[in-house]
Structure 1
Amino acid sequence: MRSARLVLSAVALLLGLLPAIPAHAAPLFKAPFPCGQTWTYSHHSTEVRLALDFVRSDGSATGGTPVLASASGTAYRYWEAGGAGNYVVIDHGGGWKTYYFHLASFSVPHGAFVSQGQQVGVTGTTGGSSGPHIHYEQLYNGAGQTIVINGQSLAPYPPYYNQRYLTSDNGCSGGGRSWVDTFADATGYAEPNTADAQGVLKAGTNYVYCKVWGQEIRDGSGNYNHWWLKTDLDIVYAGKNGWGAHVSAYYLSRWGNDEAKDNNGAVIPDC
């Protein structure tokens, strides 16, 4: 009987009825959203590649949240009307790829190498989507695999949200990044002043590299900040460079005047 089952399994695999059995070890995939955030996930029976859909469950909005690379690789940007919308595919090598659907916008150029934890897009609802979420897939040689995060399978998949949850440790340490919340869309500049606008950093949870003292930004209520945060922008103006731009620490959602701290209260390092 065991021999018969093995033969049937081999035939099913050849016919594409079972996912391919990986011959190359998978990367240590991490959650596709920022450090410390908790999201709930579900699987729809119509999704044939063992995909999961993620939405935030920690009280903050799903739309506008950064989408992060689960592992390092080469990122490619695509568009599919009525389906995946804006989506990114990351080729991790050895036959492994991850897919990120329904992005509001892209955060990396087509064909760029990305590190684990690097922002590749912004969560949205483009294409055939009923609301903001991350549609996420792990593929081996083109066949969908059961999602594994930090070496742990997320199976069995729940059919509805708010039954199972995942808290991210993607980008929590290393990589020279700090995670911050910003309360509004912020213009990014070439230097720590308002002389040369490069693009826009969308409101939400964002990574920054370091801080530098520069031009004061002040509003009519007496709030001000001289610190500028070096980061990569979500929207880049034509002919400009969105990498390593400067955004005023005035836009941080917490702390106070002339402070530049991450979401855990740690002072952001100097550039």
Structure 2
Amino acid sequence: MIAAVGATVAGAAVLVAPGIAQADSSAVPAASQVKIQGKYYFNTWRNAYSYEGRNVNTPKKGILWAGRNYFYCQAQGQDHHDDAGNKNTWWAKTDDDNGNRNVWVSATAFSVGGNYEPIPGLPKC
């Protein structure tokens, strides 16, 4: 998501790295997740800290802004609770909006899934 160019996929903003061909948006299904070039795109409903590990006690690395973001996979980690009452032990690996690569974001930021459930459609690491 560093030096990214905006594109539209299924009516949502998607960041595409320069030099990478963009998928024809008419060919992309309107779903909660979309897979493009090995990345799974999901909506996050709030800004979320990214962490070095799947644990809030590991160093914070940056921020993932609310909206359409890509993720690689998910794995279980430390229990995380947010201010809205969401709870989860699942964490998703991504690259944050500060340029940190392979960092982790709590599943509590996702617009899909429920408390203590994995993110539907995102493969396990």
Same fold (TM > 0.5): yes
CA contact (8 A) 1:210 1:230 kept: yes
Equivalent residue number for residue 75 of structure 2 = 212
Per the normalisation by structure 1, the TM-score is: 0.37
**Which structure's relative contact order is higher, taking Cα pairs within 8 Å and 6+ residues apart?**
2
% identity of equivalent residues: 32
For the pair 1:255 / 2:113, whether they are aligned, the reply is yes
For the pair 1:33 / 2:7, whether they are aligned, the reply is yes
The 1-side partners of 2:98 and 2:116 are apart by 26
CA contact (8 A) 1:225 1:258 kept: yes
Aligned with residue 54 of structure 2, among 192, 209, 213 = 192
Aligned with residue 268 of structure 1, among 112, 122, 125 = 122
Structure 2, gaps ≥5 residues long = 1-5, 29-33
Count residues in correspondence.
116
- Could you tell me how far 1:36 is from its partner in structure 2? 1.8
Aligned with residue 95 of structure 2, among 232, 238, 244 = 232
Q: Please say which structure displays the higher CA radius of gyration.
A: 1
Q: Deviations over 1:219-244 (max 9, x none)?
A: 466420000000011125xxxxx101
Per the normalisation by structure 2, the TM-score is: 0.75
CA contact (8 A) 2:91 2:104 kept: yes
Q: Deviations over 1:45-71 (max 9, x none)?
A: xxxxxxxxxxxxxxxxxxxx44324xx
Q: CA RMSD in A?
A: 2.9
Structure 1, gaps ≥5 residues long = 1-31, 39-64, 74-114, 118-148, 151-165, 237-241
CA contact (8 A) 1:229 1:249 kept: yes
